Structure 1
Amino acid sequence: MKLKLILASLTCGASFLLADMVVAPNTLPANAQGFIKQNFPTAQIMLVKRDLDSFDVTLNDGTEIDFNINGQWTSVDGKYKAIPTGFLGQAIVSKVKAAQPNAAIIDVDRKIGGFKFKFNNMMEVYTDMNGNVLGQKFDD
């Protein structure tokens, strides 16, 4: 019986360590803070959550940015509004926008070997790290 209680306590304790904790914005790695200042100069950080391997940041305009524990962005979600794309490089952006010329990029996720872009016309475009389009689909 005691063994079951100890195991239950350890399980609860371990799940607590894996849960998101709200932390102060200044606990973000310096490169994550720089990313926000450079790409969202007028935005303010409203909320930062940290777990074992990432930071989730919410800005005052609703944009959500995820960073890995080292401060490298992994996802930028404009919540249905256009996001800045300067952090991606002009060559990548021009190739992706050519795939959906009349739509705005509202979300980008870094994937292994490439990116997934979501547009305001509900299309998703998958690319390699150089922006070469690998596929597209309608996000239903």
Structure 2
Amino acid sequence: MKKIILTLVTAVSLLFLATACDSGEDGNHDSVISAADLPKSASAFVTTYFPGITYLTVKKHNIPESDGSVYEVKLSNNFEIDFDANGNWIDIDGNNQPIPADLISEKIQNYLTANYPNQFVTSIDNEKTSIEVELSNNIELVFDLQGNFIRIDK
């Protein structure tokens, strides 16, 4: 019985040790940086679309994420924005708040007004080949880069 308990304790200890040494799902270490260390275009973006809002955290990924994001910004209004190495936004998550309308192309806005008049965009992802928006009713829509509707994402 003592051997079983000792083996179990050893196995659990090794499991905790292995997960404590894991640096994330992709081995990527993040660094917390100052907002002043963001690319100028990212800082200008935040100032333009979120005036008067303060930064809660700014992280820099040492290795870009699969979507190309290098900087992860969390703002005091609960918005989260990811930027690439050049400071271009990759995705914006309003955490159930409306994304500023100026960030959504007129063509996509027209489609949303015609087809989802009582909904607003809570998240937008600027993918390499498409633009994905999530609406306040949790429906995700996919558009091409010209703003043409492609499909509802499931």
Could you state the TM-score of these two structures normalised by the residue count of structure 1?
0.81
AA paired with 1:22? V
Q: Which moved more, 1:112-121 or 1:129-138?
A: 129-138
Secondary structure of the 2:108 match is helix
CA distance in 2, matches of 1:43, 1:97: 28
Per-residue deviation at 1:48?
Answer: 0.1
Per-residue deviation at 1:122?
Answer: 1.0
**Would you say 1:127 and 2:127 are equivalent positions?**
no
- Identify, as 1 or 2, the structure richer in strand: 1
CA distance in 1, matches of 2:79, 2:93: 6
Structure 2's unaligned 5+ residue stretches are 1-20, 65-69
Secondary structure of the 1:33 match is helix
Partner of residue 12, structure 2: none
Partner of residue 44, structure 1: 54
Per-residue deviation at 1:137?
Answer: 4.1
AA paired with 1:89? S
AA paired with 1:79? N
Which structure has the larger Rg over C-alpha atoms? 2
Match of 2:43 among 33, 36, 41: 33
CA distance in 2, matches of 1:90, 1:109: 16
Alignment of 1:5-16 (within 5 A): none
Structure 1's unaligned 5+ residue stretches are 1-11
Could you state the TM-score of these two structures normalised by the residue count of structure 2?
0.74
AA paired with 2:61? D
Per-residue deviation at 1:127?
Answer: 0.1
CA contact (8 A) 1:96 1:125 kept: no
**Would you say 1:86 and 2:105 are equivalent positions?**
no
CA distance in 2, matches of 1:25, 1:60: 13
AA paired with 2:50? F
CA contact (8 A) 2:105 2:147 kept: no
Partner of residue 124, structure 2: 108
